[in-house]
Structure 1
Amino acid sequence: MTTGFCQALSALMVGGALVLGALQMALAAEPPLIERLEALSDADYDDLLDFVEGNALFTLYHEAGHMLVSQLDLPVLGQEEDAVDNLATISMLQSGDADMDHLLSQAMLGWFLSASDAYDDLVFHGEHDLDLQRGYRMLCLMVGSDPDAFGELAADLELPGDRVETCPADYDQAVAAWDGVTEAHRKPENGGGLRWIEVRHDPAPEDLAPFAELLKETELMEVVAQEMDDLYRLPAPVLFRSTACQEANAFWDPDAREVILCYELLGAFAELFLEVLAEDD
C-alpha cells in the first residue's frame, strides 16, 4: 500500500508544496463520514484503517513523550514538540518490527497530507513546526536508522541526497538525547514493579464507532502504555483515555495526569486518506 500511496501523494505535490485543495469546503458538501466508509471497497477500507492506525499510534507515542517530560521533569533543549516527535519516531523504529515500520511510514505520510498549501494559513510563530518540516524530519530519522529499509521511500518523497547523508547522525543524536535525559528514570531491565498507567476507552458516537473499535482491536493504547510502564519509573498514576472531544485533537493533561486521544482525530485521519483516494480516482 505504501508505494501506491506515495505515488498518489507525489501527484499532489507541486514544486515541493502539497496541494490538497480546500479540504474543509469539500467536506461540507460530502455525505457523512460513516456513509463514505461504508461505500469503500474492502481493500480501500483496510488501507484506510491502516493509515489511521499508523497515525494514531504515532500520536500516542507523541503524547506519551509530553507525559514523560511533565511527570519526570525532563530538561528539553529546543521545542518540546520536536523532542517528543523524535521520541515517537525512535520508539517505533526501535521496536525492530516490520509492521511497526510500516505504521510509522503511514504516520510520516500523514504529515505530508496535512500540510497546508495556502501560505496565508501558515503559522510561523506557533509551538509546532510546519507539517512538511515534521514529515521530512521523521523521514530523515527513519532513513538514518535504516537506509536500506527507507531509502526508496525517501527517494519517492524527494528527500535530497545530501540530506540523506546527514540523517544517520541526526538519528544517533536523537537517540542519545532521549537516552541521556531519561537514564535516571529507567527501570532495570525486566524490573517489573507496579503498573502506573491505566487505559480506558469511553463510548464513541455512532459516526465514530469504527475508530473506537479499531483502538480496541489493535490495542494501540495498551501497547504504548505498557511500554512506558515497562521502561520508566513514574511518580504517580496516569490514565490513557480515548474519548469523544467535539474536536480533532490529542493532548496530555498534566493536571488530570491523562493522555487523551479524541475519536474525532481518528476521523480526521480518515478524511485525509479519503481526500487522496478521491484525487487518485
Structure 2
Amino acid sequence: MLSVLKTTITPCVSLVLATLLAMFAGAATASSPFSEDNPNTATPAQVTAAIKDLAEADREALLDFVAGNALFTLYHEAGHMLVSELELPVLGKEEDAADNFAAVSMLQFEDETVNHLLSAAMDGWFLLANKNEIAEADFAGEHSLDIQRGYKVLCLMVGKDAKTFGDLAVELELEADRIESCAQDYADAEYAWAKLLEPHQRADNDPDRKIKVVYGPAPVGMQLLTEDFKTNELMELVAEELDAFYKLPEPVVFRAIRCGEENAFWHPQKREMHLCYERLNQMADLYLRYLKAEQ
C-alpha cells in the first residue's frame, strides 16, 4: 500500500527549532505575500508562482510537507467518521481522540516515509502556532491549541518509538520525565482505539466495501498542489485501509473539494468527508513563510 506514496521523501527532519527561534523575525519583507505583515494566506496563484520559483529540493520538501499534513488531516477526519458511523463512545474531547487516531494510524506503518510525513504534520501545528495569535475564545474551543497538538503528536511519536524519535524529542526540549511518560500516552491511545474498533473488524472473506473516493475540480491556480495530492493517492490510502479493516454500516464518500475555507470536515448527515483544497494551499503558504524566514 505504501507504493502509492512518493518515493522522493527526504529523511525525517523537524523544522520546529529553527522556526520557534526565527519565524517572522524580520527576514521577510512587508511586500511579500508570505511575510508577517500579510497574515492572510496567499492566493493560489501567488503560492503556485512561488513554488515554481523554488529550487528543486525546496519544492520537493514543500510538497512532502503538504502531503504529510494532508495525510494527518485525512486520518483525523477518518477518526470522526468512525466515531459517527460506528457509534463509538468518546471520553474527553473528540478532536483530541481524532488526533490520537491520526498519529497512531500513521505510526502503525513503522515506515521511514510515513514517519517523515507525520513529522511534517507535527511541524505544521508548530508553524500554525507561530502564525496565529491565540484568542481568549480558543481556550474554550473544541480543539486543543495548535502548539498543544504539535507536542501531543511528538509525545505519541516518541512514546511509540523512542529509538527513532528520542533525539527529536530532546532537540525540541521535551523533558526527560515527559519523554518517559509518553510511552504510556501512546499505549493508552493505541489500546483505546483498538478496543473500540475490535467489534467492527471486517472478516477476511468479506468483499463488501463502503468508501468511495471522489476528486472535485481544482480551484483556479491550484492545479500544481491538487495534482500532486491526487498523484500521491493519499485519500485512496486511507480509504482502502479503513475499508479493509472495518465494516461500515453505510456507504461513505471521501471527497477532495473546494470549500471556501482552509479546513476539512466529516459530515455525518451526508456521510461524506471533505478535504478542502484550500487546506493544501494553506499548508503550502505556511511552508513558504518558513522558507522566507530562513533566508
> TM-score normalized by structure 1?
0.91
Matched residue, 2:239: 225
Per the alignment, residue 29 of structure 2 pairs with none
* 1:191–1:139 CA distance, 2 compared to 1 (3 A): farther
For the pair 1:11 / 2:21, whether they are aligned, the reply is yes
Counterpart CA distance in 1 for 2:21 and 2:177 is: 24
* Structure 1 residue 13, shift from structure 2 partner: 7.2
Verify: 1:163 aligned to 2:173, yes or no. no
Q: Confirm or deny that 1:280 pairs with 2:294.
A: yes
Aligned Cα RMSD in Å?
Answer: 2.2
Q: CA deviation at 1:22?
A: 3.6
Per-residue deviation at 1:255?
0.9
Q: Displacement, 1:136?
A: 0.5
- Once the 2 structures are TM-superposed, how far is the Cα of residue 95 of structure 1 from its aligned partner? 1.0
TM-score calculated relative to the size of structure 2: 0.87
Per-residue deviation at 1:118?
Answer: 3.3
3-state SS of paired residue (1:277): helix
8 Å contact kept, 1:6–1:156: no
How many pairs were matched up?
275
1:216 and 1:31, CA in 2 relative to 1: closer, same or farther beyond 3 A?
Answer: closer
Question: What is the rounded CA distance, in whole Å, between the counterparts of 2:120 and 2:41 in structure 1?
Answer: 22
**Given residue 88 of structure 1, which amino acid in structure 2 is its aligned partner?**
A
From the superposition, tell whether residues 70 and 23 of structure 1 become closer, same or farther in structure 2 (CA, over 3 Å). farther
Distance 1:191-1:110 versus aligned 2 partners, 3 A rule: farther
CA 1:73/1:114 → structure 2, altered by over 3 Å: closer, same or farther?
A: same
What do residues 93-152 of structure 1 show as CA deviations (whole Å, max 9, x unaligned)?
001211111100100111001015634466100000001111111100100000010011
Alpha-carbon distance between aligned partners in 2 of 1:252 and 1:171, rounded to the nearest angstrom: 25
Equivalences for residues 1-281 of structure 1 within 5 A: 2-3=12-13, 5-12=15-22, 22=36, 24-25=38-39, 32-116=46-130, 118-120=133-135, 123-188=138-203, 190-281=204-295
Residue identity matched to 1:228: L
Distance 1:93 1:84 in 2: 14
Distance 2:236 2:104 in 1: 18
Q: CA deviation at 1:31?
A: 7.5
List per-residue Cα deviations over 1:53-98 (Å, max 9, x = no partner): 0000000000000000000000000000010100100000001211
Matches of 1:53 and 1:11, distance apart in 2: 25
Range 71-80 or range 147-156, more displaced: 147-156
Give, in angstroms, the shift of residue 11 of structure 1.
Answer: 2.4
Query: Percent identity of the aligned residues?
Result: 48
The answer for the alignment partner of 1:17 in structure 2 is none
- Deviation per residue, 1:26-69 (Å, 9 max, x gap): 75699722211111111111000000000000000000000000
In structure 2, the residue corresponding to 1:124 is in which secondary structure?
helix
Deviations 1:245-266 (A, max 9, x none): 1211100011110010011100
Q: For 2:210 and 2:133, how far apart are their aligned partners in 1? A: 44
SS at match of 1:207: coil
Unaligned stretches of 5+ in structure 1?
Answer: 15-19
Maintained 8 Å contact 1:51/1:103: yes
Deviating 4+ runs (over 3 angstroms) = 1-4, 20-31, 116-122
Are residues 4 and 177 of structure 1, via their aligned partners in 2, closer, same or farther at CA, if it must alter by over 3 Å?
A: closer
| Worse-matched range after superposition: 227-236 or 21-30 | 21-30
Q: 1:12 corresponds to which letter in structure 2?
A: A
The answer for unaligned runs of 5 or more in structure 2 is 1-9, 25-33
